[in-house]
């Protein structure tokens, strides 16, 4: 029984570290991009909108991948195996990641919309 608890704890820790690493790498890449400029022309806002639309598509793909993984882990964990608790934990992690990526995609599309509106305004 202790071995199973240790396995579950290990899986949860690994999932937490993976999520943390994702956030840290995203922040590091944003901080490293010191050449960021504020768009000021219609063409620059249009280009920015296109970047955010592409980012939204990439985030949608990641969300779909994690949603698929969540389903697969859920199915594997529903058979009552010794690994059921760990698989359920992994399914929950992937489900949370899918939702987070989906929310980020919505936000990227909102930013793209704002840039398109700024391009049209002037």
3-state secondary structure of 81: coil
The chain-wide mean pLDDT, for the chain, equals 83
Domain ranges of the chain: 2-27+42-121
The structure tokens listed for 50 are: 């296109």
Residues 49-93 have pLDDT tens digits of 999 999 999 999 999 999 999 999 999 888 777 889 999 999 999
Q: What is the pLDDT of residue 8?
A: 63
Burial degree of 34 (CB within 10 A; 0-12, 13-18, 19+): exposed
Q: pTM of the entire structure?
A: 0.69
Q: What is the pLDDT of residue 7?
A: 59
Q: Predicted confidence band at 5 (pLDDT cuts at 50, 70, 90)?
A: low
Percent of the chain with pLDDT over 70: 71
> Using CA atoms, how far apart are residues 76 and 96, in angstroms rounded to an integer?
18
């Amino acid at each position: 029984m202790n071995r199973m608890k240790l396995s579950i704890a290990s899986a949860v820790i690994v999932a937490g570290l993976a999520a943390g690493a994702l956030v840290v790498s995203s922040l590091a890449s944003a901080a490293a991009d010191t050449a960021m400029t504020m768009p000021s022309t219609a063409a620059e806002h249009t280009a920015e909108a296109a970047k955010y639309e592409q980012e939204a598509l990439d985030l949608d793909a990641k969300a779909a991948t994690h949603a698929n993984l969540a389903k697969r882990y859920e199915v594997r964990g529903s058979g009552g195996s010794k690994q059921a608790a760990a698989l359920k934990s992994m399914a929950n992690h992937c489900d949370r990641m899918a939702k987070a990526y989906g929310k980020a995609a919505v936000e990227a599309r909102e930013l793209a919309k704002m840039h398109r509106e700024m391009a049209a305004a002037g």
